[in-house]
Structure 1
Amino acid sequence: MSAEFTTQTGIRLENIRGVPAETLDQLSFVRKLLQQGSEGPEVLEVDETWLGMLKDDLLDLRPYMPDLAHSIAPALESSYFIGGKLVAIPYQNHVGVLAFRADLLRKYGFGNPPATWTELERMALRIQEGERAHGNKDFWGYVWPGAAEESLTCNALEWQVDEGGGKIIESDGAVSVDNPAAIHAWQRAKHWIGWISPPSVPEYRESDALGAFNSGRSAFLRVWAGEPGGDSSQQDSNLHVTIWGTGHQVGEMAITALPGGSVSRVGTLGGVGLAVSKYSKHPQEDAALVRFLLRKQLESFEKGEIHLFVAKPALYDVSSSNPDTARAIVIARPTRFDSRDYEKVSREYFGAVHAVLTGEKRASAAAFELQKNLVRITGQQPGLVARE
């Protein structure tokens, strides 16, 4: 691709290597690069949750790509337009989904994938017991990333919202983590460990969970899916999802929306954008590279080169505010309200949840301490949901 871009434009590229695997480690790496000013990178692939923290170091792209600025889907505008600036162009839009072994569901008599966590537990246990009885001793019902990383924030947010436990920080700024619904959601996830999920799940990164599923050692997997960004003006309010990843899968894989709890059924919004350093001396050339990357990704998507499975019809509604357990919606992490403090908020949140998963802390004690810490970090008030 670099050679093709240079042939087309005469612009030479240098790719910076050594990028860490974990999201917040990548953020620290990008911050150090941006501190190099004009000597640092010019075009960056950035997680959408970073944009509020990096906005002062990123170029406003509207003068260079006015057509793309007007084509960003409304559901994504608040993530990419910050302080009146278009700080990045959506490159990949992601959402949390459930991958499952369709062949195993049929084998054990299940006509449809689970719509609730209770259904997932029942199906996962039955398939797990059956596969182990047939000699697959390392088989588990459900695998998911439980390491103390950003992916756990996404998982736990889904669990919490499913039970009506709030969105960590609400639209009015209230902190909502210390409540019976959130505590119940974390306790349920802890109960999975050693029952339908491996005892080592609290150490699983996303690649570990994907590897276990791909190798035929699990019936269900929490994973990211998505679609190309770029010109999203023609996209409707439904998200047609495609699993991002690589590798060969054992069995017949399919995907569906994540299961729901007693209140709703949701998937966390994710994604990455293409941004340009404010210190770049070549903004026009940078804009040409951004357009090139968007075009190449869309071409690869249309050729079927970057996906493992396409799910139709759409599984998520990105515009609805009234979820039900038959139709899932997309929820955002609390970056819009506290964009500068989000890194601190997320580290506190996934640290507290991880302590519950490992048994280091009781869920009620972890929620109480977390709420105090988030109130201190954000300067906001706690939510009004009473403790048990």
Structure 2
Amino acid sequence: MRKMAVLGASMLVGSLLHIGTASAVTVTISCSATGHDLEQCTQGAQAWAKKTGNEVKIVSMPASGQLALYQQLLSAGSSDIDVLQIDVVWPGILAQDLIDLTKYAGNGTAGDFPVYVKNDTVGGRLVAMPWFADAGVMYYRKDLLDKYHVDVPKTWEELTADAKKIQDAERAAGNSKMWGFVWQGKNYEGLTCNALEWVQSYNGGAIVDASGKVTIDNPAAVNALKMARGWVGTISPEGVLNYQEEEARGVFQSGDAVFMRNWPYAWSLANSADSPIKGKVGITTLPMGGANGRHAAVLGGWQLAVSKYSKNPDAAASLVMYLTSEPEQKRRAIEGGYASTIEALYKDKDVRDAIGPFADSLHDNLVNAVARPSSITKTRYNQVSTEFSGAAYAALSGNTDPAASLKDLDDKLHGLSHGGKW
């Protein structure tokens, strides 16, 4: 039965692309097939193989369902994949099946943004290495802010007022499709990210604190959701409650929104040759929750980890350290536009020339980045996130008062936490 389960999982993952030359050790790494990911991952792995004399096999992963595939393979004790590319919220979920990389990393994490190292450390074990970064950012129409003599907003209150002012003026001028602000409001992980940014910006905590205590039922968090509820139907369309990243980008890139919350990937698309708003877009940190609030961007990005079922853990860890090293991250930034997890590279001239004018904004967002509580809640993170996004959605849609919604969420999370013992 176990052998059949492993075989079935392997068939689901996809065919192996064999690269490199014969050598003493073969290491298999999973690489995303999204965009340039497979090409860039393959190039880095090939360089490591050439340098070490080892052999590499690449598993091309599908665009969705990776976590379920990993869980199936790992639960079967499969050694089919040595190095796993994992999302930023998966270290806590998969930690028990990953090796501790501490002895291999040495001081290799010293240059990484601390939030990534903390996120990838579960129970005192470094179960993954940061590979490339992501964080929520605010896009805005430079031309429209200039047209109406509006400064880039520093707080959510300023953004709300500016969005309304420009939206109303543009509609009065004949652009009936203009909206002030688009974001991700559908009930899914994207809403968890957006809502956590609002809550954190008002100093409302991170749902569950570092000790495992549930903290979401507080006045600051309630105020954050009340603010966002006020956007729906005023500066944001009612349909924003069905928006994911691409729906928000579609509206913004069509020229029908003043502000947009999204991830850095949208920058190159907004400035592509066929984009109606090419050259008209600015990027900045997400606003603070009032004068006493803070800038808060939810952490995204991908990590590399080694399966504890690997037959060649030392070689697999060597590949991880090579791919996450500063020289390799610099290459990926220049050739593929990937945001580095190493802070010093944001001052590197070659990197700054490659990733464009959003280098400083992205750096500032990563400095202020907020990790979702996945490392604390471990295997229950998906339940925590689902409950949180559901509570936020209920408040945003007007089905439940924000205060009542968060009180109900608090009760549910306490039931999941077993007194903080996640």
Specify the TM-score bucket, using the shorter chain as the normaliser.
0.7 to 0.9
Taking a change above 3 Å as real, the CA distance of residues 290 and 77 of structure 1, as seen in their structure-2 partners, is closer
Moved more, 342-351 or 309-318: 309-318
Instruction: Please tell me whether residue 202 in structure 1 is matched to residue 241 in structure 2.
Output: yes
Output the CA distance in 1 between the equivalents of 2:85 and 2:268.
17
Q: Counterparts in 2 of 1:174-185, with a 5 A limit?
A: 174-185=213-224
Taking a change above 3 Å as real, the CA distance of residues 4 and 342 of structure 1, as seen in their structure-2 partners, is closer
Instruction: Please tell me whether residue 154 in structure 1 is matched to residue 203 in structure 2.
Output: no
For structure 1, the residue ranges without an aligned partner over 5 or more in a row are 226-241, 319-328, 382-388
Corresponding residue number in structure 1 for 2:378? 339
Q: 2:72 aligns with which of 20, 32, 43?
A: 32
Corresponding residue number in structure 2 for 1:17? 61
Structure 1 residue identity aligned to 2:387: E
Instruction: Please tell me whether residue 264 in structure 1 is matched to residue 293 in structure 2.
Output: yes
> Contact conserved, 2:195 with 2:225, CA < 8 A, in 1?
yes
> Contact conserved, 2:100 with 2:125, CA < 8 A, in 1?
yes
Moved more, 170-179 or 287-296: 287-296
Secondary structure of the structure 2 residue equivalent to 1:118:
helix
Q: Counterparts in 2 of 1:76-87, with a 5 A limit?
A: 76-87=116-127
Instruction: Please tell me whether residue 163 in structure 1 is matched to residue 192 in structure 2.
Output: no
Moved more, 206-215 or 363-372: 206-215
Output the CA distance in 1 between the equivalents of 2:396 and 2:66.
25
Taking a change above 3 Å as real, the CA distance of residues 217 and 342 of structure 1, as seen in their structure-2 partners, is same
> Contact conserved, 1:177 with 1:367, CA < 8 A, in 2?
yes
Instruction: Please tell me whether residue 286 in structure 1 is matched to residue 316 in structure 2.
Output: yes
Output the CA distance in 2 between the equivalents of 1:258 and 1:30.
33
> Contact conserved, 2:92 with 2:376, CA < 8 A, in 1?
no
Q: 1:353 aligns with which of 392, 400, 408?
A: 392
Secondary structure of the structure 2 residue equivalent to 1:129:
helix
Task: Identify the structure with the greater helix proportion.
Answer: 2
Deviation, 1:48, is 2.3
> Contact conserved, 1:267 with 1:330, CA < 8 A, in 2?
yes
Q: Counterparts in 2 of 1:183-262, with a 5 A limit?
A: 183-225=222-264, 246=269, 248=272, 249=275, 250-251=277-278, 252-262=280-290
Structure 2 residue identity aligned to 1:360: N
Output the CA distance in 1 between the equivalents of 2:61 and 2:359.
33
Once the two structures are superposed, what CA deviation does each residue of 1:27-69 show, in whole Å capped at 9, x if it has no partner?
Answer: 3343224334335432222122221121111122234444525
Q: 1:315 aligns with which of 364, 372, 377?
A: 364
Q: TM-score scaled by structure 2?
A: 0.74
> Contact conserved, 2:207 with 2:214, CA < 8 A, in 1?
yes
Corresponding residue number in structure 1 for 2:28? none
Secondary structure of the structure 2 residue equivalent to 1:14:
strand
Output the CA distance in 1 between the equivalents of 2:376 and 2:309.
27
> Contact conserved, 1:224 with 1:243, CA < 8 A, in 2?
yes
> Contact conserved, 1:128 with 1:141, CA < 8 A, in 2?
yes
Output the CA distance in 2 between the equivalents of 1:210 and 1:170.
32
> Contact conserved, 1:212 with 1:218, CA < 8 A, in 2?
yes
Secondary structure of the structure 1 residue equivalent to 2:360:
coil
Secondary structure of the structure 2 residue equivalent to 1:169:
coil
Structure 2 residue identity aligned to 1:37: G
Q: Counterparts in 2 of 1:366-377, with a 5 A limit?
A: 366-377=405-416
Taking a change above 3 Å as real, the CA distance of residues 16 and 191 of structure 1, as seen in their structure-2 partners, is same
Secondary structure of the structure 1 residue equivalent to 2:302:
strand
Give percent identity, aligned residues only: 37
Corresponding residue number in structure 2 for 1:114? 153
Deviation, 1:284, is 4.1
Taking a change above 3 Å as real, the CA distance of residues 171 and 38 of structure 1, as seen in their structure-2 partners, is closer
Q: TM-score scaled by structure 1?
A: 0.80
Secondary structure of the structure 1 residue equivalent to 2:68:
helix
Once the two structures are superposed, what CA deviation does each residue of 1:214-239 show, in whole Å capped at 9, x if it has no partner?
Answer: 232211111234xxxxxxxxxxxxxx
Once the two structures are superposed, what CA deviation does each residue of 1:88-146 show, in whole Å capped at 9, x if it has no partner?
Answer: 11012332221111111101111x21111111111111222233334433221111111
> Contact conserved, 1:255 with 1:311, CA < 8 A, in 2?
no
Corresponding residue number in structure 2 for 1:299? 331
Output the CA distance in 2 between the equivalents of 1:180 and 1:75.
26
Deviation, 1:342, is 2.1
- Two-structure CA RMSD over aligned residues (Å): 2.8
Output the CA distance in 1 between the equivalents of 2:69 and 2:237.
32
Q: Counterparts in 2 of 1:124-139, with a 5 A limit?
A: 124-139=163-178
Output the CA distance in 2 between the equivalents of 1:170 and 1:278.
29
Taking a change above 3 Å as real, the CA distance of residues 245 and 81 of structure 1, as seen in their structure-2 partners, is farther
Secondary structure of the structure 1 residue equivalent to 2:63:
coil
Output the CA distance in 1 between the equivalents of 2:102 and 2:80.
22
Structure 1 residue identity aligned to 2:230: H
Taking a change above 3 Å as real, the CA distance of residues 305 and 257 of structure 1, as seen in their structure-2 partners, is closer
